[in-house]
Amino acid sequence: MSFVTVENLFQSYGRRPIIERVNVTVAEGEFISIVGASGCGKSTFLRLLLAQETPTRGEIRINGAAPAREPGLDRGIVFQRYSVFPHLTVRENILAGESFRRGWGRFWGAERRDALARADETLARIGLDHVADQYPATLSGGMQQRLAIGQALVARPKVLLLDEPFGALDPGTRVQMHDFLTELRTQTQMTVFMVTHDLGEAFKLGDRVLVFDKVRWDPQDPNLHGATITYDFDACTGGIPFQTLKEDIHVYHTA
């Protein structure tokens, strides 16, 4: 059963095509890694998934619903930078994940006390309870990204989009963040799209790895054609890249 359906997706800026003919279906709970050369349109693809932009052609449906026209609660995002609110403390940032959907963006009274208790639980789970009252600027890069992921998860999105979330972290912190993300995923079972430049990371975390690349290349004008999905690796079995055979090959049948 396909949960996210991308159909014949095109996006151009002005007359310059960035991505073209992207077709992909993703099941609920799958972890999709996206890799590709710099500037080939991975972030653009995420922005389209997020409905921050409307595609030139084609459409994206989540759970069969009509294509979204603006970002909303069902899709969460973590950017490489600027993902948490600098003017809110760590605890308030987590609280915002629940309270921003309210009329005044806040909780009051008993509701606020309950929400604060939940926020403290979340902070303990993501290991940030000791810095709850600090401002994000005082946290390390890894802690800020953990906060951003925690904040996005508190809103309970159906699909989580991650744009190079660990790009700026050192290798040690990165491995910690992988464990953190894997753990959260077993708890929440949400569908994830993650853009990364680290192939190891892509195959380690992903159930599938999508490769974006240009199939047509004009040497006179490299910008003439857009990129599309050129490979769709199955990465379920221990992160060893291999391609699923899509056709029935008779030789293997031992009927």
Q: Which residues bind another protein (CB under 8 A)?
A: 50, 52, 70-73, 75-77, 79, 81-87, 96-97, 100-106, 135-138, 151-152, 155, 157
With respect to ligand ATP, which residue has the nearer C-beta, 40 or 209?
40
CA distance 157 to 98: 11
* Shortest separation between residue 233's beta carbon and ligand ATP, angstroms: 18
Record the tokens describing residue 62, joined without a space: 């989540």
Q: What is the DSSP string of 218-244?
A: -SS-TTSS-BEEEEEEE-TTTT--BPP
Question: Who's near 239: CB < 8 A, 6+ residues apart?
Answer: 203, 204
**142 scored as a contact of ligand ATP (CB under 6 A):** no
Describe the crossing of helices 171-188 and 141-154 by its angle, rounded to 10 degrees: 10
Which residue of 12, 43, 56, 89 would you call a contact of Mg ion, by CB under 5 A?
43
With respect to ligand ATP, which residue has the nearer C-beta, 141 or 167?
167
Radius of gyration of the chain (CA): 20
Among Mg ion, another protein, ligand ATP, none, what binds residue 225 when CB lies within 5 to 8 Å by partner kind?
none
Are β-strands 228-234 and 208-213 bridged in parallel, bridged antiparallel, or unpaired? antiparallel
Interface with ligand ATP in residues 33-62 (CB under 6 A): 36, 38-44
Stretch that binds Mg ion, among 42-50, 59-67, 124-132, 208-216 (CB under 5 A): 42-50
* Shortest separation between residue 195's beta carbon and Mg ion, angstroms: 6
What string of H, E and C letters represents the secondary structure of 98-119? HHCCCCCCCCCHHHHHHHHHHH
Binding site for ligand ATP (CB under 6 A): 13, 18, 36, 38-44
